[in-house]
Amino acid sequence: MLRTHTCGELRAAQIGLEVTLCGWVDSYRDHGGGLFIDLRDRYGKTQVVFSPESGAAVQEAARGLRNEDVIKVRGQVSARPAGTVNPKLITGEIEIRCVELEILNKCKTPPFLPTQQDMPGEDLRLKHRYLDLRRPAMQETLMLRSRIIKMMRDYFEEQQFIDVETPILGRSTPEGARDYLVPSRVHHGHFYALPQSPQLYKQILMMAGYDRYVQVARCFRDEDLRADRQPEFTQLDVEMAFVDKDDVIGIIDGLVQRTAKELKGLDVQLPLPQMTYDEAMERFGHDAPDLRFGMELVDATDLAAEAEFRVFKAVAEAGNRVRGINAKGAADKYSRRLIDELTEFVSNDFGAKGLAWFKCEADGKLASPIAKNFTEELLAKFKDRFEAEPGDLILIVADKFSVTCKALYALRKRLAAELKLYDPKQMHFSWIVEFPMFDHDEETDRWVAMHHPFTAPRPQDLEHLESDPGKCRAVAYDLVINGSEAGGGTMRIHDNKVQQQVFGLLGMTPEDAKERFGFLLDALQYGAPPHGGIALGIDRWVMLFGGLDNIRDCIAFPKTQRAADLMTDAPGNVDRKQLDELAIKILRPEELKK
RNA sequence: GGGGCCGUAGCUCAAUUGGUUAGAGUCCCGGACUGUCGAUCCGGAGGUUGCGGGUUCGAUCCCCGUCGGCCUCGCCA
């Protein structure tokens, strides 16, 4: 070891000890006579003093030190003179009187300092990630990530789970997300796909008798990125046999409780609350609602039908919905101009044709540009329905159910943030259950699996699997933390016939199904136990428990929105020779258009 | 593929209605200073205003294109 201690460990108790520290120069203060260095490593900072006692040569060398130089210092741990103790540093009672200095690596003037107040641009941070990762905030996040993963591993090991690794090079299954493909050198024209998740492998493991499986699994999806989405991400993948959904939920409940306690000191009451998908859509317009605050969606379709207001009436008569939210006390905070902004917001991105609004005046009456289309009596009914009080702002969207969901969900989320309806430090955990088995794809007029094609329908819904797929509910459950999908799972089909039936509903011929999933259909006939599981998004857990709003800050080497790594410049060109081995030819853009 | 925001000194930002020599803090360089901890003080260096084109007497500012970063819709079984 080059060092005897870290920069975060020395205290008054070690005064008098001769120590050697290594680290980065965090800052330097040259006073001519004496010179001070804060030496930094991931454990903390320690002040190093260079004075005439250090010797002329050492002091001279110290004078040349600059930020981010990597040095080794030897010296005695000393009490700081009275009045110079620094309470901001955990090591602030002591300092090292340096007698020997070695510069291990001189740092060029860096493009930015890990210690600077103003955050540098994200492109620069990603390009020089080694500098960015030196920032204490990044180091804390990666240490938190490490703790979370360890906690998960410990927890599942205690419960007799076995960690099994599954292949990274697999077979493409064109359902779901776009695959990352890897060309085969041995089989020209054939490709591996990187796993979107280890789904089928873990199911096969259940059939193989490994009835409690866990893996920290890297997953790949070639889709566009978002603040909370990376093309490669990490899941805690779990699968269990001879269980029902309550067993899986129970296991995860326990993990949530322990994590919240150990990381946040929060006492989470179990079982975590559960809400059905239908209820969530009705009350919040989304399958991952943020339950840290109220402002629920209110239905007023029946009242809208009574109005002389054509927009409302037409929507109600067409069987669509008129719904809204009541932003308590927000009437004064939203001027006409700001409401116009909200209108633009819901119409540009969420397909709403407009945003109707009422302000509840001091006299308790609802005021609005559209109020003249309503009788006094009807306005009073709206007021009651939305439980409006003076100062409240009611915002209403009239449209297809799905549009009201999207627009009001977005509006609710935005207003809650703007009105500070929740404490950002607060955490809320819940389950959304009983998702639909299928979504109807308008474009292709086909049923598509809402979760994945291996999801088991509820036993009571088996009968209308064929007759009314849209009504069929799955044994599915999503873990929602603060309005973010933090995990999702299902019980799986363990019956060959049901699995074939579902494949059929998804538009696969028996031949298609055999070609793509023959191994699964086979395995289901050789002793497949009832099983189910879940996958937790580890990056998102880190984000949520770390109070961060960006998944890139939870990952050591993330990709930009265009899926590039600015440090290594991946993806990059490859040699002609490599392509030849793979029998791959790159088309020019104009050739591709054909 | 669509919508939006941003790009000015190494870094973080400013620059009046389109106007004359593009500024500040920090970093960097030189100097001063015996207790600082966002050290202080003095001096200095540092600019293809992302790139290309256009409008104009004149463009950091307006227009078009392009590159890059971010947010978002679609997409994400």
Instruction: Provide the CATH number for the domain around residue A347.
Output: 3.30.1360.30
Number of structural domains found in chain A: 2
Going by the annotation, the residues of the binding site of A for ATP are 221-223, 230, 485, 537-540
Under a CB-based contact definition with an 8 Å cutoff, are residues A93 and A70 in contact? no
- Where do the H-state alpha helices sit in A66-174? 122-127, 129-132, 136-158
Phi, psi of A287, deg, nearest 5 = -90, 5
Structure confidence at residue A174 (pLDDT): 75
Distance CA A594, CA A587 (A): 11
Residue A549 included in any domain: no
Nucleotide lying nearest to A449, CA to C1' measure: B77
CA separation for the pair A255, A71 (Å, rounded): 42
| Cβ–Cβ under 8 Å, residues A439 and A404 | no
Nearest in space to A52 (alpha carbons), one of A34, A69, A72: A34
Q: Of A105, A125, A158, which residue sits at a domain end?
A: A105
Distance A343 CA to B55 C1' (A): 35
**Quick count: other Cβ atoms within 10 Å of Cβ A444?**
9
The 3-state secondary structure of A294-363 reads CCCCEECHHHHHHCCCHHHHHHHHCCCEEEEEEECCCCCCCCHHHHHHHHHHHHHHHCCCCCEEEEECCC
What distance in Å separates the CA atoms of residue A474 and residue A447, rounded to the nearest whole number? 14
Q: What's the CA gap between A144 and A315, in Å, rounded? A: 50
Backbone angles phi, psi at A317, to 5 degrees: -70, -25
Pairwise CA distance, residues A431 & A425, whole Å: 20
**Residue ranges in chain A modelled with pLDDT below 50:** none
A179 in a domain, yes or no?
no
- Tell me what pLDDT residue A536 has: 98
CA of residue A197 to C1' of nucleotide B23, angstroms: 54
Distance, angstroms, CA A320 to C1' B56? Answer: 55
Bind-site residues of A:
175, 221-223, 230, 451, 485, 492, 537-540
- Residue A127 pLDDT: 96
- Peptide bond before residue A390 is cis, with ω within 30 degrees of 0: no
Percent of chain A residues past pLDDT 90, beyond the cut: 93
Q: Which of A282, A200, A276, A212 is nearest to A241 (CA)?
A: A212
Residue nearest to nucleotide B71 (CA to C1'): A227
Burial of A195 (0-12, 13-18, 19+ CB in 10 A): buried
Q: Tell me the C-alpha distance between A223 and A306, whole Å.
A: 45
* Whole-number distance in Å between A66 CA and B22 C1': 30
User: Could you tell me if residue A242 is inside a domain?
Assistant: no
Nucleotide nearest residue A85, measured CA to C1' = B37
A345 located within any domain? yes
Spatial separation of the C-alpha atoms in residues A329 and A391, rounded to whole Å = 5
Residue A535: nearest nucleotide (C-alpha to C1'): B77
Q: Which nucleotide is closest to A88, CA to C1'?
A: B37
pLDDT at position A445, please? 82
CA–C1' distance A450–B65 (Å)? 41
Cβ-contact A133, A85 below 8 angstroms: no
Full strand arrangement of the beta sheet holding A212-220: A162-163, A212-220, A232-241, A531-537, A484-491, A476-481, A429-433, A274-276
The distance (Å) linking the CA of A561 with the C1' of B29 is 39
Binding-site residues of A for L-aspartate: 175, 221, 451, 492
Residue A448 included in any domain: no
Which phi-psi region, left, alpha or beta, contains residue A100 (left: φ > 0; alpha: ψ -120 to 50)? beta
> Can you spell out the DSSP letters for A247-296?
HHHHHHHHHHHHHIIIII-----SSPPEEEHHHHHHHHSSSS--TTS---
What's the CA A29/C1' B43 distance, rounded, in angstroms?
19
The distance (Å) linking the CA of A542 with the C1' of B39 is 37
DSSP assignment of A535-586: EEEHHHHHHHHTT-S-GGGGSSS---TTS-BTTTTBS----HHHHHHHT--P
Distance CA A319, CA A219 (A): 41
| Cis amide bond preceding A571, omega within 30 | yes
Last residue of a domain, one of A421, A456, A479: A421
The CA–CA distances, whole Å, from A248 to A40, A160, A533 equal 44, 14, 6
**Domain end position, chosen among A421, A445, A469:** A421
Nucleotide showing the shortest C1' distance to residue A455 CA: B77
Question: Helix A136-158 to helix A245-259 angle, to the nearest 10 degrees?
Answer: 140
- Report pLDDT for A589: 75
Which pLDDT score is estimated for A591? 75
C-beta contacts of A146-153 below 8 A and 24+ residues apart: A147/A263, A148/A259, A148/A263, A148/A538, A148/A541, A148/A542, A148/A545, A149/A216, A149/A236, A149/A538, A151/A255, A151/A258, A151/A259, A151/A262, A151/A263, A152/A214, A152/A216, A152/A236, A152/A255, A152/A536, A152/A538, A153/A214, A153/A216
Q: Residue A66: what are its φ and ψ, rounded to 5°? A: -135, 170
Give every CB contact of residue A462 below 8 A, 6+ residues apart in sequence. Answer: A498
CATH number of the CATH domain containing A64: 2.40.50.140
- Three-state secondary structure string covering A373-421: HCCHHHHHHHHHHCCCCCCCEEEEEEECHHHHHHHHHHHHHHHHHHCCC
Across all strands, nucleotide nearest A127 (CA–C1')? B69
Evaluated on CA atoms A25, A29, A32, A35, the torsion sign reads negative
Q: Name the helix (H) or strand (E) containing A57.
A: helix A56-63
| pLDDT for res A201 | 97
> What is the residue type of A452?
H
Find and list the nucleotides of strand B having atoms within 7 Å of a protein beta carbon.
1-3, 10-13, 25-29, 32-40, 68-77
Rounded CA-CA distance A494/A241 in Å is 10
Interface pTM (ipTM) of the complex? 0.93
Query: What domain range is A355 assigned to?
Result: 293-421
On whether residue A299 sits in a domain, the answer given is yes
